């Protein structure tokens, strides 16, 4: 029996309510799979995943998804999120964040700013398919507060992903940001049209250069200048320094007094960043907190869930050192 067949059998046994799923073996299969293996599994497991009628992705069959979430609840959604198509995963997380309100708006910023333009476009397409409305209109109608303008612009963005930059535009943007911060009301900066325009339309490499120019020109860290406005700070960190943002998010998730939203980030960050920049995140975590990330996870998590997360991190570290 192939690994794909074995995993499909585990899923179908769980769905039928029978006993005898070998969870350890199932997780050993999953942690070895690369994105292309997961894609093949979704395509070959038609009783679990349906081909979307409009867009090129495979989505969970709704009833089956509920069964799996209940069956694998002790894994805190790790199994479900790992096997889910990334577009669907981001769309469902965005929907959950909107339902939870202001306390979860940071997750919308994370999704909008740490994905590539094509990945964000895919999440927007999946959102339309799953919920029969656009994420842009959902954010605009559900966010009732000062964050609306920024969040709508972020989830709507499609940034240039290439390497080219314009030195003059970089300097001008740095000057505009400094002026807005210096003369404006810090509590209202999130609504400043120039600030929102720069952060939601410029390429990531351009913004990194802007932040560097800001530091060199004014001898100040822009993040410190934005100490009143956490949403703008999170936006800048997600766009310009994802490892720093994610290492901080992981540390918050593993604190004893972490909230439900914070705790959920442990699964989310490990699952979504394993094949992206987990090596950089783990190195940043060790630098910031003086503890290897796998060791910290072992200290706070339990059982197969712990083993699954630790193995994913170690896989990323091993791959990064090749």
pLDDT in tens, 119-154: 999 999 999 999 999 999 999 999 988 999 999 999
The yes-or-no verdict on residue 4 having pLDDT over 90 is no
Domain range for 290 is 244-320
Claim to verify: residue 16 and residue 67 sit in the same structural domain: yes
pLDDT of residue 236: 96
Claim to verify: residue 311 and residue 252 sit in the same structural domain: yes
Tell me the three state secondary structure of residue 60: strand
List Cα–Cα distances, 34 to 50, 118, 122, in angstroms.
20, 19, 19
Please state the separation of Cα 92 from the chain's center in Å. 11
The yes-or-no verdict on residue 9 having pLDDT over 80 is no
Least Cα distance to 268 among 281, 257, 256 occurs for 281
Claim to verify: residue 251 and residue 234 sit in the same structural domain: no
| Residue where a domain terminates, one of 211, 240, 269 | 240
Stretch among 14-23, 168-177, 280-289 having the lowest mean pLDDT: 14-23
Counting residues of the chain whose pLDDT is more than 90, the rounded percentage is 77
Claim to verify: residue 235 and residue 300 sit in the same structural domain: no
CATH number at residue 216: 1.10.220.10
Query: At 26, is the pLDDT very low, low, confident or very high (cuts 50, 70, 90)?
Result: confident
191 part of a folded domain: yes
Tokens found for residue 114: 């740490």
């Amino acid at each position: 029996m192939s690994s794909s067949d074995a995993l499909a059998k585990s899923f179908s046994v769980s769905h039928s309510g029978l006993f005898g799923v070998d969870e350890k073996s199932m997780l050993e299969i999953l942690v070895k799979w690369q994105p292309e293996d997961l894609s093949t599994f979704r395509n070959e497991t038609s009783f679990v995943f349906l081909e979307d009628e409009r867009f090129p992705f495979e989505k969970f069959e709704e009833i089956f998804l509920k069964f799996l979430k209940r069956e694998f609840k002790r894994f805190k959604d790790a199994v479900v999120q790992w096997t889910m198509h990334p577009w669907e995963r981001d769309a469902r997380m965005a929907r959950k964040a909107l339902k939870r309100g202001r306390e979860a708006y940071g997750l919308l910023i994370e999704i909008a700013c740490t994905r590539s333009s094509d990945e964000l476009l895919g999440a927007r397409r999946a959102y339309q398919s799953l919920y029969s409305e656009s994420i842009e209109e959902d954010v605009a109608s559900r966010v009732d507060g000062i964050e609306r303008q920024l969040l709508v612009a972020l989830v709507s963005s499609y940034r240039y992903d290439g390497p080219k930059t314009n030195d003059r535009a970089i300097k001008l943007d740095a000057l505009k940001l400094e002026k807005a911060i210096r003369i404006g009301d810090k509590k209202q900066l999130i609504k400043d049209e120039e600030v929102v325009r720069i952060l939601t339309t410029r390429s990531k490499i351009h913004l990194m250069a802007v932040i560097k120019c800001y530091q060199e020109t004014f001898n100040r860290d822009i993040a410190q200048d934005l100490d009143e406005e956490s949403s703008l700070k999170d936006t800048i960190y997600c766009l310009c320094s994802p490892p720093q943002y994610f290492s901080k998010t992981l540390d918050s998730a593993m604190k004893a007094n972490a909230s439900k939203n914070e705790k959920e980030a442990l699964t989310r960050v490990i699952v979504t960043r394993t094949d992206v920049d987990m090596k950089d995140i783990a190195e940043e975590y060790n630098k910031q907190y003086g503890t290897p990330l796998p060791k910290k996870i072992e200290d706070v998590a339990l059982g197969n869930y712990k083993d699954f997360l630790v193995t994913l991190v170690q896989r990323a570290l091993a791959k990064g050192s090749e």
